[in-house]
Amino acid sequence: MRNDIYVSVNQVSCYYGAHCAVDNLSFEVKRGEVLGFLGPNGAGKSTTMAMITGNLAPSAGQILVNGIDILDKPKEAKANIGFLPEQPPLYRDLTVDEYLRFCAKLNRVGKAKINTAVDAAKQRCGLTEVGKRLIDNLSKGYQQRVGIAQAIVHSPAVVILDEPTVGLDPIQIREIRRLVRELGGEHSVILSTHILPEIQVTCDRVQIINKGKLVLSDTVAGIEQYMGASSLVIALKNAPVVTALESIPLVNAVASLGDGRFRLVYEPESDPAEQIVQTAVNNNWGLHEIFPEKRSLEQIFVDITTSEADNKSGVNVEHSRDTEGAVA
């Protein structure tokens, strides 16, 4: 077990009766890495989170947290985990200081180190000025910060955050995202969210699970490259027949969008724009618009999690890279 791997999920499956919620799932999370964990409702994402945190035993496979098997040594493994569920487990009638001291004790922080641990967690989460305030009197954003502080008060190797920005205003969202990025400097962070742009600005790597299986794993840089334009949309005043457009060099396929507009698909490594413009001018097609059509992360997510479209959309559902971007 490499000492820079803080989470290792090896061929893990989970059954509820005859239903397979997680099917032979394997992945790793390195120290200093923020992993975005995505999946549609019912994909097995929450089940996977429950198994990693030790709240649910896998039916098969092995989960190591900081090199410790969570089934063989559950207390020791869980001591390396900090968890923020979607609904933060806050005691609203306590002050921030009282609550964080309580959480430090629950996580077996030594008595002599509790105050230092609480102060460090408050400083990391921007709570230094509100330590003596009742949690119930704090804004939603500050309550979310308290939830993150309880997850890191014992300095765990792994921090798991489930929908940490739900219900926050735009300013609070930016602050929590910044905090998540900072946490990634010292911990392994697993971030579960349905807000796809959040993955792009917060995470180092993206994983998508669908029907219990891992269908995509790539770095954010790799995903953004994958999102790059592979089609052009053009608008013509004197539109020719589709076959005339299909004959342009480097163009693989053409789709009519109506009103003289067409989508021209090409290989990602090629660029037929110059050929298209020259051909349009030579044939007096009246080209008045041309622009690259990029795929969004949302489009990729929908494509690979819609089973009916898996083999029709042209998306490689086995698309997987390691953290350096090389195909696995």
Domains of the chain with CATH codes:
1-80+158-227+297-328 (3.40.50.300), 91-155 (no CATH), 229-292 (3.30.70.100)
> How far apart, in whole angstroms, are the C-alpha atoms of residue 323 and residue 89?
33
In the predicted structure, residue 324 carries a pLDDT above the cut 60: no
Q: Render pLDDT for 274-298 as a digit per residue (tens, 0 to 9).
A: 999 999 999 999 999 999 877 777 7
User: Residue 123, Cβ neighbours under 10 Å: how many?
Assistant: 11
Instruction: Between 116 and 268, name the one with better pLDDT.
Output: 116
Residue 144: its H or E element: helix 140-152
Average pLDDT in the 140-148 region? 94
Q: Render pLDDT for 64-110 as a digit per residue (tens, 0 to 9).
A: 999 999 999 999 999 999 999 988 999 999 999 999 999 999 999 99
Give the global pTM: 0.76
Contact 6, 160 (CB under 8 A): no
In the structure, what pLDDT confidence band is assigned to residue 259 with cuts at 50, 70 and 90?
A: very high
Average pLDDT in the 252-261 region? 92
Highest mean pLDDT among 12-16, 44-48, 229-233: 12-16
In the structure, what pLDDT confidence band is assigned to residue 29 with cuts at 50, 70 and 90?
A: very high
Residue 62: its H or E element: strand 60-65
CB half-sphere exposure, 216, CA atoms < 13 A: 26
Six-digit token pair at 145?
Answer: 């910060």
Instruction: Between 109 and 270, name the one with better pLDDT.
Output: 109
User: Residue 179, Cβ neighbours under 10 Å: how many?
Assistant: 21
Q: Give the model's pLDDT for residue 119.
A: 97
CB half-sphere exposure, 106, CA atoms < 13 A: 14
In the structure, what pLDDT confidence band is assigned to residue 227 with cuts at 50, 70 and 90?
A: low
Contact 100, 89 (CB under 8 A): no
In the predicted structure, residue 322 carries a pLDDT above the cut 60: no
Q: Give the model's pLDDT for residue 231.
A: 86
